[in-house]
Amino acid sequence: MKKSNYCYISILLSILVLSTGFISSCTSPQQTSTENGILIFQDDFTDPKSGWFIYKADSTRGGAYEQGDYNVWAEGKNTVIALNPKTRQQLKDFSAEVDIRETSPIRGAVLGIIYRLDNAGYYYRFAITDNRTFYVGKKSEFGVEEEVYPQTPSDTIKPAEEYNHLKVVCKGENQDFYINGTKLASLTDNTSLKGELGILFSNWAVSENYTFTNFKLYELK
């Protein structure tokens, strides 16, 4: 991916960090312990009042609940971040997973999970592209996004119009990445060790849509 695109995303996310101050407005839900950790939030998107929203929604980007999905759209070169008050805690050790797919007839988007978005503006993102590759990016101290795990093709990734199940597991400096139940990559990095989490969608030229559903967030002990 081009460095200029990383700069564009980094600027947008820096504005997000400075504007919001990372304040969570929710109370903790009832917690359930599972083999994946303590389940602190899940959503199948059948309740349109579950709290998801698009950061800085306007005439060029937005989102809405639609029949068990959260549908996100964007026009032109754009980056869209879907957030929920329950994902805006300062998460450290966690596991997050979601089903995500592109619904536009025209391809060219990047879909994924943005996480450990911290007060300094650092973050990571685990993403797939519609040409069936995945990568892990992070914002560095120089204010641009760089790939810390290079863009890699995988037959595990389904075509863009089908749902792909993404999962990221973070424990201290260690991060593991899964797609459709298969572990595809790991890395060790300590640039950011806690922060907010959301769903990220970027497109570079045309109007596009994506949907996501079946979101789960676990705290690891």
Q: Torsions phi, psi of 182, nearest 5?
A: -105, 130
CA 59 to chain CA mean position, Å: 22
Q: What percent of the chain has pLDDT over 90?
A: 56
Q: What was the pLDDT predicted at 35?
A: 63
Distance CA 140, CA 138 (A): 6
CB proximity list for 27: less than 8 A, separation 6 or greater: none
Whether the per-residue pLDDT at 7 is higher than 60: the answer is: no
Span 147-159, pLDDT tens digits? 999 999 999 999 9
Nearest to 102 by CA among 77, 132, 136, 58: 132
Domain boundary assignment for the chain: 3-219
The mean pLDDT value of the chain amounts to 83
Q: What was the pLDDT predicted at 21?
A: 38
Q: What was the pLDDT predicted at 75?
A: 86
Size of the chain, expressed as the number of residues it contains: 221
- Topology (CATH) of 3-219: Jelly Rolls (2.60.120)
Distance CA 94, CA 172 (A): 9
Span 113-159, pLDDT tens digits? 999 998 888 999 999 998 899 999 998 776 788 999 999 999 999 99
Residue 216's pLDDT band, with cuts at 50, 70 and 90, is very high
State which amino acid sits at residue 19.
Answer: S
Q: What is the CA radius of gyration of the chain?
A: 16
Span 174-186, pLDDT tens digits? 999 999 999 999 9
Distance CA 159, CA 98 (A): 16
Whether the per-residue pLDDT at 3 is higher than 80: the answer is: no
Q: What was the pLDDT predicted at 120?
A: 84
Q: What was the pLDDT predicted at 4?
A: 42
Which has more confidence, 102 or 33?
102
Nearest to 26 by CA among 194, 167, 196: 196
Q: Torsions phi, psi of 208, nearest 5?
A: -145, 165
Q: What was the pLDDT predicted at 78?
A: 84
Span 17-42, pLDDT tens digits? 334 433 333 334 455 555 678 999 99
Residue 15's pLDDT band, with cuts at 50, 70 and 90, is very low
